[in-house]
Structure 1
Amino acid sequence: MTSAAGARDTQAGSPVVVLIGPPGAGKTSVGAALAALLGASLRDTDADVEAAAGRSAAEIFVDDGETRFRDLEADAVSAALASHDGVLAIGGGAVMDPRSEAALASYAAHGGVVVFLDVSLAHAGPRVGFNQARPLSLGNLRAQWQTLMAARRPVYSRLATHHVSTDGTTPAQVADQVAALLRATTHAPEAPRE
């Protein structure tokens, strides 16, 4: 199918681009900047989970456990991949659920663009801080982040069609890089500048 984002083989209503990566990579902030740049909407599966549950991600983790959160997240990822035609930011741990991993792999296999927003611990730490709204921010943040990245990095890399580092950059700079990748990948026209 051909969309405003360019020539793709993905289904109608599928995202222009999917952003994946660890906590602190800037998926939501880059996604917002990219959506504005492309004239598209942003959808964040973390927000979808919270809306469906009527509670914050941290509350779901504490009250219901990670398994329940991941079930809700897998549902959110599947629904967003099937119906959202803008920029999609996926929660950092979603790729670890086999259902979400398979859905993302299928999306990429059918021409979808999946961008792994990578970040080093040195740059992720200040972004994540001690924000209690992030479910994995309780306890030793550095050790937790390193452990989850050891498990997740191979999955992010396997699913990604593109890899972009967010170290030392602003969300707008990363959005510009991703927009350039989209143009190169899909032969999409330049986004209008104001």
Structure 2
Amino acid sequence: MATTYAALLRGINVGGSRKVPMADLRALMEGLGYGGVRTYLQSGQAVFTSGHGDEESLAAELAAAIERHFGFGVDVIVRDHAYVKAIADACPFPAAELEPRQLHVTYFSAPVGPERFAGIDPAAHLPEEFRLGDRALYLYAPNGLGRSKLAEQLARPRVNKGVIATTRNWNTVVKLVELTRA
């Protein structure tokens, strides 16, 4: 039986570099035998079905195919519908009361613990806040991600060392739940 997944590609089609046209990505994924391939926006979200592999092996397979086809490496995280829905449902912030640009989720390729964030003083960044979830971090940035000093701290290599991390705004989080619904 096939499972529906979301693939999150990190850092493509940003600032004119690492271009991955969505039509080409869909064709590449179909060539890998994935079914029902759809993309969302140009920033690196794809939804597909597969009856083989698990999240990690599918992410590795897709990353390798992208590197072969496009000539550059792209970090990929793959998560199934149950996970993307659980992340949306577990949001510790009042998502329905906030503007989508104020709320973001950073997805991690592996579990991360609070020790990674010990060097960040939460009080120094208020009213911005973050909370950890299951292989995810929720960020409330009332003035948006682009102006967030906390987001800068959270994106530092020492914080994300050894894991892939990619951030999506709340609109995309909600859309991925909808798109992966079987």
Tell me, yes or no, whether TM beats 0.5: no
Q: Return the TM-score normalized by structure 1.
A: 0.29
Q: Which has the higher contact order (CA 8 A, sep 6+)?
A: 1
Select the structure that is richer in helix. 1
